[in-house]
């Protein structure tokens, strides 16, 4: 019989994209007010790997990441996704933008070995958590680098995204 152990050290991260920088700024203020200080915030990366979101979000999208919470409990992931969905709805109500979905927010967590994203979409590789929320391993840390899975979104396969996560991963070695 295997020994039951506590989950490995994890940290929360949030990925967000919008064509409106003011919404990204609004989100990071909301993240800090709710979950505490950010440890790292990426530059806004151009999001051009897919046209999937253009009809609901517009063009010239920018994607940005924030990393926080070194003592993150991964069992909170489903609740975090529900909250970030509420933030998306609040942003839509609070700002006068014409897009159907002016802000997209995806919470997740990072351990030394993987990056996990929350989703409301059921796919064959996703594990159901609770309340309509699923989780997927998006990147795995192997051979001293982040490696995509066959289902990893094209943007997460980018070298600059993986470089940001490699830099952020170093925070997990802090006491």
- What pLDDT is stored for residue 70 in this prediction? 84
pLDDT value at residue 167: 94
pLDDT for 69 equals 77
The CATH-assigned architecture of domain 11-173 is 2-Layer Sandwich (3.30)
The model carries a pTM of 0.93
Identify the pLDDT of residue 61: 96
For residue 158, give the nearest of 173, 172, 146, 175 by alpha carbon: 146
The full set of domain ranges for the chain reads 11-173
* pLDDT score recorded for residue 159: 95
| Grouped pLDDT means (10 residues each) for the chain, 175 residues | 90 97 97 95 92 92 93 96 98 94 97 97 96 98 97 94 95 84
């Amino acid at each position: 019989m295997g020994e039951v152990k506590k989950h490995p050290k994890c940290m929360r991260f949030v990925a967000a994209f919008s064509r409106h920088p003011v919404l990204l700024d609004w989100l990071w203020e909301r993240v800090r007010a709710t979950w505490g200080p950010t440890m790292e915030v990426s530059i806004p990366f151009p999001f051009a790997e897919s046209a999937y979101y253009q009809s609901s979000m517009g063009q010239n999208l920018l994607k940005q990441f924030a990393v926080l919470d070194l003592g993150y409990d991964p069992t909170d992931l489903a609740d975090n996704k529900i909250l970030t969905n509420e933030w998306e709805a609040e942003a839509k109500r609070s700002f006068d933008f014409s897009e159907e979905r002016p802000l997209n927010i995806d919470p997740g967590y990072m351990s030394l070995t993987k990056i996990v994203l929350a989703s409301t979409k059921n796919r064959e590789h996703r594990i159901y958590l609770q309340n309509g929320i699923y989780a997927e391993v998006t990147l795995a840390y192997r051979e001293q680098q982040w490696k995509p899975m066959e289902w990893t979104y094209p943007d997460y396969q980018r070298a600059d995204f993986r470089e940001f996560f490699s830099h952020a991963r170093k925070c997990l070695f802090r006491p």
